[in-house]
Amino acid sequence: MSYLLEPLSTNNITLKNRLVMPPMATRKSKKDGRISKNILDYYDEKSRGGYISLIIIEHSFITKRGKASEGQLSVADDNLVEDLKKLSNIIHGNGSKTVMQINHAGSAASKSVTGYEPVGPSAVANPRISNVPKELTEKEIRDIIEEFKSAAHRVKEAGFDGVEIHSAHGYLLNQFFSPLTNKRTDEYGGDVLGRIKIHLEIIKAVRDAVGEDFPILLRLGASDYMKGGTTIEDSKIAAIEFEKARVDILDISGGFCGYTPPDVNKQGYFAPLTQGIKKVVSIPVILTGGITEVDSAEKLLSESKADLIGVGRAIYKDSKWAEKAIKSLK
């Protein structure tokens, strides 16, 4: 029996195999963030045949203040739900499960896009784009927690199979987690537990919004790969707390400013991160990072480097990749 073909079940979601399409920004939405025909056609093409067990929709902004770029998908208003249902229905109709990723860009946002001054955990330069944000007040933090909660509720109402909270790639929750950008001296800063306080409060708020049986995923930038940034040891501490808070799946990535590892041609180059996380949690862990060969996916699973395999660029380039991979194993 192929490792990649084995089903996996966790908290009210059963995946037919271990193949995941990770979130990848397409910038195909309408100017206001609404679903466009282009985005529906894109996900229809990627999900056709249902060979991918789980498709994670690209990061979607929870509030206009947290919009990362033009063309980004929105989940910031109740009036978007009906359009978002079209997206979940297409993917379900093709035979795949789907989760929507929700995000706030924080200091990675631009006033030219949002119309607002960027905000962050501290008024220090974001190494990703070098701008200095306004430091969030505790009230503003509470408002953002509520925005995540409302966005998650919309995701459920739109018929998705789960929701993923984005804490990677230099966006707001990664900014709180990273000592590079979190210099706070209140309860939202300091050690790892302080720096993930906002995460834990968001997870609780989201769980309250979606109920016990709706899967919650969290994408964790498990190492900043920058001097003075987060390390895998920090992320092990965080992962334990996220599991306690009832996150169902951890989706592991890395690199605060984007990351090109020395072994960029190695299949599954974030495997050292997922392997470290798997040692301290019992919930499923997703590995992405340069995986283009089905034999490599099989090997990574057989070596318990991860529970699920995310294949991004290969599927982006070739919509038949999943079909060919799955058929080759049968």
Q: Which of 213, 233, 214, 211 is nearest to 222 (CA)?
A: 233
List, as one string, the DSSP characters of 293-313. Answer: -HHHHHHHHHTTS-SEEE--H
Active site residue 116: no
Residue 306 Rama label (left phi>0; alpha psi -120 to 50; beta): beta
- H or E element in which residue 96 lies: none
Query: 3-state DSSP call for residue 192?
Result: helix
**Which H or E element spans position 13?**
strand 13-15
Rama region for 293: left / alpha / beta (φ>0; ψ in -120 to 50; rest): beta
Point out the catalytic residue in the list 3, 171, 188, 269: 171
The rounded distance, in Å, linking the Cα atoms of 249 and 157 is 21
Q: How far apart are CA 319 and CA 218, in angstroms?
A: 26
CA distances from 281 to 84, 244, 301 (A): 33, 9, 16
Distance CA 168, CA 58 (A): 13
Catalytic residues: 171
